[in-house]
Structure 1
Amino acid sequence: MSGRADSDTDPETAGPETAVEQDEPAELPEQDEPAELPEQDDPAELPGQDDAGFRPEDARRARWTAAGTGAALTLAGLAAAVLRLARSAPALVPAAYATGAAVCAAAAVLGARGRTRRALWLLVGGAMVMAVGDQID
């Protein structure tokens, strides 16, 4: 093969003219602080936000969304329960819709008070109860 090798020759096998003297190990520079990164728009540093990066508008929007969705699902569940009562359906069907509507109403109240995570899970649970009532029908 012709060409140059990609790596240097090992000091033990190299001749005296290529031997590398290593009396002292190379010292690394002291680093007290990490290198600074280029400045970026950090969302936590924008005006109107707290340390975690949340804005008051986000919390307000989440409360309104949870309360509005809970109210809409409550009305839909109650309307479905009334419609199923008017028809000949098993009694379990309107009861499931009414129960799901009650759970969604509780989610709307919790969402309006700021407990949006719990409200989300109650909304999911209420919608599932209403879906079970629909499957029974």
Structure 2
Amino acid sequence: MSGRADSDTPPETRVEPADAPQDADADEETGVAGAGGTAADRAAETAETAETAEDEDAGADEREAHRARWAAVCTGVVLALAGLAAALLRLTGSAPLLVAAAYACGAGGCALAAVLGSRGRTRRALWLLVAGLMVMALGDQFD
């Protein structure tokens, strides 16, 4: 297969001599002597940067957990309402009582999943939602 080779620029290939004198007080990024301040100042900057990064990571994890809780609650409520509506429709129709009971039980499981999701138990809520939907689908098979 013919074509153009990688168009990325090559890495810098300049080799620094090992015996080149290096200033102990030179800034690591700029290489200018005295630009970075004392070693204590640089250590303090590094510690502040690390703390800020940890705070940002914790904030991101907290936002993800909050989103997962809301997703579990909203999904559980919507599926519980849909299951209750289906159960009421099956009760008023000519379907067997077992079908309406299956929809009602599945809706109860989804409602319980919404409660668990609001308390932060999102994995258990997910499995309870799946189980509730399976019960509703099984009840629909008896119709």
Query: Shorter-chain TM-score category?
Result: 0.5 to 0.7
- Provide the rounded CA distance (Å) in 2 between the counterparts of 1:129 and 1:92: 11
Structure 2 CA distance for aligned equivalents of residues 74 and 88 of structure 1: 22
Residue 48 of structure 1 and its aligned partner are, at CA, apart by 2.0
Query: What amino acid does structure 1 have at the position aligned with 2:118?
Result: A
Question: Over residues 23-68 of structure 1, what are the superposed CA-to-partner deviations in whole Å (9 max), with x where a residue is unaligned?
Answer: xxxxxxxxxxxxxxxxxxxxxx564224xx9611000000000000
In the alignment, which residue of structure 2 is the partner of 1:104? 110
Measure the CA separation in 2 of the matches of 1:61 and 1:103.
Answer: 21
Equivalent position to 2:140, from 121, 134, 137: 134
Provide the TM-score with structure 1 as the length reference. Answer: 0.63
Q: Give the Cα–Cα distance (whole angstroms) in 1 for the partners of residues 97 and 80 of structure 2.
A: 19
Structure 2 equivalent of residue 14 of structure 1: none
| Equivalent residue letter for 1:132 | L
Given the two structures, how large is their TM-score scaled by the length of structure 2? 0.60
Q: Could you tell me which residue of structure 2 aligns to residue 49 of structure 1?
A: 57
Unmatched runs of 5 consecutive residues or more in structure 1 = 1-44
Measure how far apart 1:87 and its partner are. 0.5
Alignment partner of 1:117 is 2:123: yes
Mark the structure with the bigger radius of gyration.
1
Q: How does 1:14-53 map to 2 (within 5 A)?
A: 45=53, 47-50=55-58
Pair 1:92 & 2:98 matched: yes
The aligned length equals 91
